[in-house]
Each structure stands twice: as C-alpha cells, then as structure tokens.
Structure 1
Amino acid sequence: MFSFLAGMPLGEYIRRRRLSVAGILLQTEPVKVIDLALQLGYESPEAFSKAFQAMHGVTPSQAKNKNIVLKVLPPMTFQLTIKGGIEMNYRIVEKNAFYIVGFKKRITIQFKGINPHMNSLIQKLTPQIIADLKSLCDMEPKGILSVSANFQERTAEGSELDQYIGVATSKTASNDFDILHVEASTWAVFKVVGTFLDAIQDTWAKIYAEWFPTSGYELTGGPELLWNESPDTSRPDYKSEIWIPVCRMN
C-alpha cells in the first residue's frame, strides 16, 4: 500500500529519510561520523559512508564543509479523503414520449446560487398563465417544471442550454407557448429534501460525481427536469425531484 501511494518502496523511503537527516546533522551539529552511523542503524561507518555518498554525491566528512550541496527528502504525509457514502433516494421510471409546454430561453449554466437569467422566464408566470399551464398538465411530474435541454456542454459552468419553465403534457395544441418534444425514455428520479437551492445543487453534483460512475446507467442526452413542491422555498425540508433521462450501459 505504501509503495502504491508513495511511488517508492517503504525501505527506500526510510533509507533516504535517514540519509537526509544525516546530512542535516553533519552540517548543523558537532557529530562524529561513526556515532552518526550507529545512531541511524548502520552496521559500520563504511556502510553508512557508502550509502551517504550514493545519495548526496559527497562523503560524510565532506558534508561538514560549508557550501556543500546536499539532497533532502522531506517527511511524507498522507491525507485520507472520503467521498460518497451518503444515501441518495432514487427510483427508475419508464415514460412514453411527451411534451414540455411553457416558455423557453437560452441561458448559461451556473452551478451555485440563483441564476439571474431565469428572472425573465419566471416573471412570465402570472397567476393566469400558471392556471393555463396546469390545465394542460396530464402526467407526472405534476405542476410547474424547470427543464434544461440542448446543452452546449452539460458539466461546464458558463456553457449554454435551453431553459424551459412549463408543464409535462401529452397535448400540443397551443400557439401561446414554446414546445419541447421529449422522446420516450427511462428516467432516474432523485428525491431532494433540504434547503432550497443548496440541496438541489448538491444533489445534482452527487448524481454526476457519485451515482453515474457506479449505477450502470449513462446519460441519453435528453432534457433534465426539476420539480419543486411549491412556490414557497423557505422551508428547511423543502422537497424537490430531479428527473434525468438514462439508459443502461452496454
């Protein structure tokens, strides 16, 4: 394990650390070579001198002189970083083709915080418009959705995508709204509970960084849906769902 992490055998690391310490002591302390050899575990001064010269290019006696260049291997430390291990609630849903009906705008991806480009879309949702859209909704997920589609680069902040605010429906007869056709697909649906908007963005990041690499599924390239339980996002246990179209890996 040490060799894998450090890139050298443990014995080699110990040897080079001892010889690094030896160089420092020879230049800073009035130590005898024979005493230093025994202190560092060498069987004889000759064995110590040979190893010292092989690493530093000079003998221990020469190392005591000023302006002698020596090598040093600093102490090695390891940090343990644990990723994942946090439960994610999801289900797999099969859906026939459907439509997203609502308003569309080309915006840029922003991973943290509220995206200011969404304001003009949200402002179109008057009470009457919301009622009209909800009257068209005849399937899950019910209610007003945020839909991201036609990504320029799905995981690159600042890249562009088509953002829709609308509803999922089987109906297309509407001249007042933008329409996105969504192909039949398998969907991975992730439940999100927590502080809006942080919980949603954290879950989205975990989906790509942790769920996809171990799930056996991959992206289809289709749109991603976000359902929120209500317009009031102030609750600490606010509920949302993220719908992502997926397919089994070959």
Structure 2
Amino acid sequence: MRWVDRIRLVIEYVEENLVGEISIDDAAKIACCSKFHLNRVFFSYFDTTFSEYVRRRRFTLAAADVVSTQATIVNIAMKYGYTSPNAFTRSFRKIHGVNPSEVRSANATITTYRKASFPLEPVEVERMEYKIVEKASFNIVGKSKRFEFDDFTKNGKKFWKEYVGSDGYKSLCELTDGKPGLVSGSPLLTAYFPDEKKAQDKFLDVLGVEYDTGDKATTFETHSVPAATYAEFDCLYRGAMKTNRYIYSEWFSATGYERDGSKPDIVAYFPMPWRHFSEMRVRWWVPIIKNSDGV
C-alpha cells in the first residue's frame, strides 16, 4: 500500500473517532509503521504533529457545538474526552484564542481547521539525490534529552541552542578536538532514538561525538548506534529540515523502502572554516529496509 493511502486511512480513523478515543498506537498500526515513523511522516506531509492535528480537529467541532447548540460547556467538554471543564477551557482558548463562554456571549472569532487532504504541494529541497550505505556500529558520547514529538517541534531548537552555548558543550567538543569519527566521518552528530516501548510517545535526542568509551567520557552519556543500512542524503544546514521533510513525505512514498524499526536517524555535521553555519554541510542517515512487496 502506498504511503499516501496509509495516511488517508489514518486521517479517516481520526475523523471517525473525534468524539471517542484516538490512539497513536492504533494509528501507527493502521499505517503499518512505528509511532516514530508515523509522527515523522505526518509532520512532513501536513506541517503539524499527529496529536496537534487531533486537537485542532476536535476543537473545530467543539467550537461548532458551542456556537450552534444549547449543550452546557461541561457536557461538550465530556463529549470530547475532557473530564475537567477547566482543562477543556484552557485547550479551547489555546486553539481559538477565546474561552467557550466568550464565544456564546459575544461575536467572537473562532478558528476552523479542516480535515487534512491530498494532493499536497511537493516539498522543494536543494538536493534530492541519495545513496544506500552500510555503517558499522559505533558509540556516540554526549548530551541527551527525551522529547515528546510535539514538545520537540516547539522547544527542541531552543533547548539545543542553549546547550551549544554552555561549558558542557565546549568540554564535549574537546573530547575529539574536532576530529571526525572513524565510522561517521563527522566531528559532530545528532541521533534520534525511537522509544517505542514507552506508553507515551517519546524519543531520545542525542547531540554528541563519535567516541570510544574512556576516562575522558565519564562525565557524558554513551549511546550505542547499531550497525544499519541507511539512505544517505546531503544538504546544507539551512535546508536540513526541508530535506528531512522530503525524506519522510516524498522519498518514502516514492520508493520501496520502510524505516528500520527502532534504529536511530543520524544527522552528521561538517563545519566549513570561515563559512557561516548556514553553509555547513549536513548529512542525513535514515535506517531503512526494503519493503517485502517492493511498493
């Protein structure tokens, strides 16, 4: 089944259960993929996370109920899965900018988020070439933070920007003196480790260097990156996120590949002397396996 068709089924699942229980575990089963992969694909297609899409659609319908029915706010909140009216009001205000009571008492403006649909404009990137590479296992030593996907899209960039300005980051870079790793060929790496066993939808984001364990590394975390087959994509830092969106929307949809389970996505950075960081070369490695049916 094509990826577009899988995502259509996920959207229909959401629409059919807006007043019931919606689980990303169930959505991932419908899409025949992991939660991590579903989140990446969904965000790449629609520029919003799966859970945020669900919230927006639910509160589009909730606002219509507030405006067009005489049901109490408490009953409307319960209809959409909120046992606390206060929690419902906070979420309503976050989506629409006003409280439910204000919608009824004044001609307040409310926001409508329509059902997601295809076709979409293709993601434009600087380069679309790729190659398939084999990488041996290696250790990445550094700093990590566990993110829920929604939190990562909102706060991940700020968190890492603050860390890069810290003494801890300076000490991390001193481990290798800027020398590239033997396997990655890069002096600095990010790894995104899916965490499919957790009840909550989280992943581990690691910024570090390729480094064998030793006394110098004891103040940092060590994570093992398993051997894997990767699809490799090159781009510049300024286009890195567009390239990632292209991978998870256009590329997976167009090829006979699936993401390889719980193995991490790797981002390798290649700074260039006397160049602005936006000109830094970036290489994405996405772990892949061939679809059994080749489509």
Offset, 1:191: 0.7
Offset, 1:222: 1.0
Distance 1:115 1:84 in 2: 21
Closer, same or farther: CA 216–103 of 1 in aligned 2, 3 Å: same
1:166 to 202, 208, 212: 208
Question: In the alignment, is the contact (CA less than 8 A) between 2:271 and 2:277 conserved in 1?
Answer: no
Cα displacement string for residues 119-148 of structure 1 (whole angstroms, at most 9, x for unaligned residues): 45422211x431214468332231111211
Distance 1:81 1:136 in 2: 39
Q: Any unmatched runs of 5+ in structure 2?
A: 1-117
Match of 1:129 in 2: 172
Structure 1 consecutive aligned stretches of length 4 or more whose deviation exceeds 6 Å:
none
Cα displacement string for residues 89-141 of structure 1 (whole angstroms, at most 9, x for unaligned residues): 21211012211111212234344796222245422211x43121446833223
Match of 1:57 in 2: none
Question: In the alignment, is the contact (CA less than 8 A) between 1:103 and 1:164 conserved in 2?
Answer: yes
Match of 1:92 in 2: 132
Question: In the alignment, is the contact (CA less than 8 A) between 1:112 and 1:201 conserved in 2?
Answer: no
Question: In the alignment, is the contact (CA less than 8 A) between 2:130 and 2:234 conserved in 1?
Answer: yes
Match of 1:183 in 2: 226
Question: In the alignment, is the contact (CA less than 8 A) between 2:192 and 2:206 conserved in 1?
Answer: yes
Match of 1:83 in 2: 122
Question: In the alignment, is the contact (CA less than 8 A) between 1:105 and 1:121 conserved in 2?
Answer: no
Secondary structure of 1:125's counterpart equals: helix
Secondary structure of 2:169's counterpart equals: coil
Offset, 1:239: 2.2
Offset, 1:151: 4.3
Offset, 1:237: 4.3
Cα displacement string for residues 148-199 of structure 1 (whole angstroms, at most 9, x for unaligned residues): 113469xxxx953211111224x23342221111211101111113x62xx1
Letter in structure 1 aligned against 2:186? K
Match of 2:30 in 1: none
Letter in structure 2 aligned against 1:104? S
Question: In the alignment, is the contact (CA less than 8 A) between 1:92 and 1:186 conserved in 2?
Answer: yes
Closer, same or farther: CA 131–213 of 1 in aligned 2, 3 Å: same
2:185 to 138, 141, 144: 141
Determine which structure has more spread, i.e. the larger CA radius of gyration: 1
Question: In the alignment, is the contact (CA less than 8 A) between 2:123 and 2:242 conserved in 1?
Answer: no
Distance 2:194 2:280 in 1: 28
Question: In the alignment, is the contact (CA less than 8 A) between 2:181 and 2:187 conserved in 1?
Answer: yes
Distance 2:155 2:129 in 1: 23
1:246 aligns with 2:285: no
Match of 1:103 in 2: 143
Match of 1:223 in 2: 264
Structure with a larger share of its residues in helix? 2
Question: Mapping of 1:11-30 within 5 angstroms?
Answer: none
Question: In the alignment, is the contact (CA less than 8 A) between 1:223 and 1:244 conserved in 2?
Answer: yes
Closer, same or farther: CA 89–105 of 1 in aligned 2, 3 Å: same
TM-score w.r.t. length of structure 2: 0.47
Question: In the alignment, is the contact (CA less than 8 A) between 1:108 and 1:117 conserved in 2?
Answer: no
Letter in structure 2 aligned against 1:192? C
Which stretch shifts more, 199-208 or 230-239? 230-239
Match of 1:192 in 2: 235
Letter in structure 2 aligned against 1:213? S
- Identity between Structure 1 and Structure 2 (%): 21
Distance 2:258 2:119 in 1: 29
Distance 2:180 2:282 in 1: 21
